[in-house]
Structure 1
Amino acid sequence: MNHRTLAIIAAFFATLIYGLNHTIAKEVMPTYVQPFGFIFLRVSGAALLFWAIAPFAPKQKIDRGDWWRILVCSIAGMVINMLAFFKGLQLSTPINSAVLVTITPIIVVVLSAFFIKEKITLSKGFGVLLGLIGAVTLILFGAESRIDAPNIPLGNFLFIVNATFYGTYLILVKKLIEKYHPFVLLKWLFTIAVIINFPISFSEVTAIEWSVLPVHIIGAIFFVILGTTFGTYLLNAFALTQLKASTIGAFVYLQPLIGVLFALFTGKDQLSGIKITAMGLVLLGVYLASKRPKPGA
């Protein structure tokens, strides 16, 4: 099996884990663990795991000029991105999160035009518009009365914040991945994230009552640490070494499908006309925004 095939498999499993995470993480919050406290468990657990496997990576010293980019990547991808997503998941629903996080490719298109002056074609521009209409539709009209979703509009808005900063992370981290081994890079990214997240999340970590956590909740916490954090970042880092970002971006279409089906199967969420309409607009927008222009176009 060649490296490209392995990279495609890695990208698929990362997407599968992300799709399941919407429902699994939601079950933990806020009854057992508050969102910011959960994030500290994520980043600290992942940091320990990456330090544990670091000896298997080649010896690499980070160039002084790269530390600023590593710092910004950590803040965007392991601090603001994660805090916004888990807080949004506490306030909103699994299906809403599965739909709205898929606008990341649209955000990447917009940010690429801003940061690296990449041209936005008419098709891409229309895709961005459709995706944003879908997102705004879900934010403004997707509210429903649910005890476990106390502020759906705010939660949905935080999913947009999450997608924006994750998109920023993907753009900035690409050069670092091309230069450093994934074990080396992710070790430092998560270590910095632990330091920054600590004062933000400390009070919620100390509030966790470990002795009364049910077994399935402990299992869900380990799934988020080992799978959604350590596993997906490692899988995507490997995939980026073999595949173009646009190829990996195509897997984003699977995430809402997996997330929605799993939420429905477990009875943790339900579909509505607004959700279906918004999902259709977002996915069509992502397709148009991610579509590569024909040569000469």
Structure 2
Amino acid sequence: MKNNIAKAHLALLGANLIYGVNYIIAKGIMPNKIGPSAFIFLRVVGAGILFWIIKSFLKEKVEKKDFPLLILCGLLGVATNQLLFFHGLNLTSPIDASIIITAIPIVVLVFSALLLKEKITPNKIIGIAIGATGAILLVWYGNKAAGTSSLLGNVLIFLNACSYGLYLVLVKPLMKKYNSITVISWVFLFGFVFMFPFGIPDILQTNFAAFTVETYATIAFVVIGTTFLAYLFNIYALKSVSPSVTGSYVYLQPAISFIMVSVYAYAFGQTEYAQDINSVKIASCFLVIFGVYLISKKPNKKA
């Protein structure tokens, strides 16, 4: 049992290391080599094929009444979520994006209260207020900050967090009813349908002849690592640890992003990233993390 828990924590560490590194790696080839919509097209197609290869070994069928919810999850969890994220990341700082993403647990709590009528305690209300303050401060600061920050990019990342948070609430009953591979395979298929009109024009205009080995390696990392492997790591971990433990690892992403941006700025001379680290962003990061901590903290049981 202890061995399984240790492996689960290693899986979570691996998944969030991939996510943290992804911010700056994915941004590195946009938009010079490939546009955000074209990148999403390749990501959804590549990962979707991999998920359906695994799904082919499962004989599980989905009831017809559940397809409308799967379609909605495909729209929110794949098409809207990923298009907003990559277009936002294309415009803003990897650090800003990684901090705003940590607000997802706050969004999940709000939608859970609105849709599932889950009770919000005073402690959680304070957490929502503090975390939202940090996220709003960072989004607003993107309009004034030097470096690669951007107000529009930050707004798109925040809307991405809202879309993904709503998806997590809606997909919860499906995950309880079916194998997670079955659910995610259908979600990616329907997500592809919604994403297709946005991605195909960019794909047709992409100059693949200009791709270098580095470009292909980056795309492979995003498709196989960020999308496919990271998701499987999270599924594996959930078998041994609670969702709250899984969620707590999201706090690693801003730290990893800070480190990666620092390396790019000072070790590789990428001067456009040199001004992406400052006191306002650090303060925003702590506000969001502390807010999420208050939300996820279990109330003390009275004796």
Shorter-chain TM-score: what band?
Answer: over 0.9
Partner of 1:42: 43
The letter for the 2-side match of 1:286 is V
In structure 2, the CA distance between the partners of 1:239 and 1:68, relative to structure 1 (3 Å rule), is farther
1:198 to 170, 190, 196: 196
Aligned to 1:280: 286
Show the 5 A alignment for 1:20-59.
Answer: 20-56=21-57, 58-59=58-59
Task: Please report the RMSD computed on the Cα atoms of aligned residues, expressed in angstroms.
Answer: 1.8
| Residue 13, structure 1, aligned to residue 23, structure 2 | no
Gaps of 5+ in 2: none
SS in 2 for 1:99: helix
Q: Which has the higher mean CA deviation after the structures are superposed, 11-20 or 241-250?
A: 241-250
Which residue of structure 2 lines up, in the alignment, with residue 92 of structure 1? 92
Q: CA distance change for structure 1 residues 74 and 239 in 2, over 3 Å: closer, same or farther?
A: farther
Per-residue deviation at 1:266? Answer: 2.1
Q: What is the percentage of aligned positions where both structures have the same residue?
A: 39
Counterparts of 2:302 and 2:199, CA distance in 1: 51
Match of 1:177 in 2: 175
User: Which residue is equivalent to 1:291?
Assistant: 297
The residue aligned with 1:249 is 247
Residue-by-residue CA offset, 1:160-198 (whole Å, 9 max, x unaligned): 111111111222222222222233222211111111111
Q: Which amino acid aligns with 1:124?
A: K
The Cα of 1:235 is off from its aligned counterpart by 2.3
Give the equivalent residue in structure 2 for 1:138: 138
User: Gaps spanning 5+ residues in structure 1: where?
Assistant: none
Aligned residues: 293
- 1:97-135 Cα deviation digits (max 9, x unpaired): 111100001111111111111111111111111111111
Which amino acid in 1 is paired with 2:81? N
1:81 aligns with 2:81: yes
Cross-structure match for 2:101: 101
Amino acid at match of 1:92: T
Q: Structure 2 length as normaliser, TM-score?
A: 0.91
Tell me which moved more, 26-35 or 133-142: 133-142
Describe the shift of the 1:108–1:296 C-alpha distance in structure 2 as closer, same or farther (beyond 3 A).
Answer: farther
Segment of structure 1 superposing worse, 281-290 or 260-269: 260-269
The answer to whether 1:156 aligns with 2:162 is: no
Query: For the residues of structure 2 that align with 1:109 and 1:153, how far apart are their CA atoms?
Result: 25
Q: Give the corresponding residue for 2:111.
A: 111
Which of the residues 207, 212, 215 maps onto 2:213? Answer: 215
Distance in 1 between residues matched to 2:113 and 2:210, nearest whole Å: 50
Work out the CA distance in 2 between the residues paired with 1:182 and 1:122.
33
SS of match in other structure, 1:62: coil
Q: 1:110 to 1:296 in 2, by over 3 A?
A: farther
Structure 1 contact 177–241 (Cα < 8 Å) conserved: no
Q: Which moved more, 1:280-289 or 1:236-245?
A: 236-245
Distance between the aligned counterparts of 1:73 and 1:242, measured in 2?
25
SS in structure 2 opposite 1:61? Answer: coil
Aligned residue in 2 for 1:129: 129
Q: Which amino acid counterpart does residue 295 of structure 1 have in structure 2?
A: K
* Inter-CA distance 68–3: structure 2 relative to 1 (3 Å threshold): farther
Distance change in 2, residues 1:4/1:178 (3 Å): farther
Report the TM-score, using the length of structure 1 for normalisation.
0.92
* Mapped partners of 1:7, 1:74: distance in 2: 27
Shift of 1:280: 1.3
2:103 is paired with a residue whose SS is helix
Q: Which amino acid aligns with 2:103?
A: I
Partner of 1:64 in structure 2?
64
Superposed CA deviations along residues 25-68 of structure 1, whole A, max 9, x for unmatched, are 11011111111111111100111111222233x31000112112
Of 235, 238, 242 in structure 2, the residue corresponding to residue 237 of structure 1 is: 235
- Structure 1 distance, partners of 2:249, 2:261, is 19
Distance in 2 (CA, whole Å) between partners of 1:273 and 1:82 is: 29
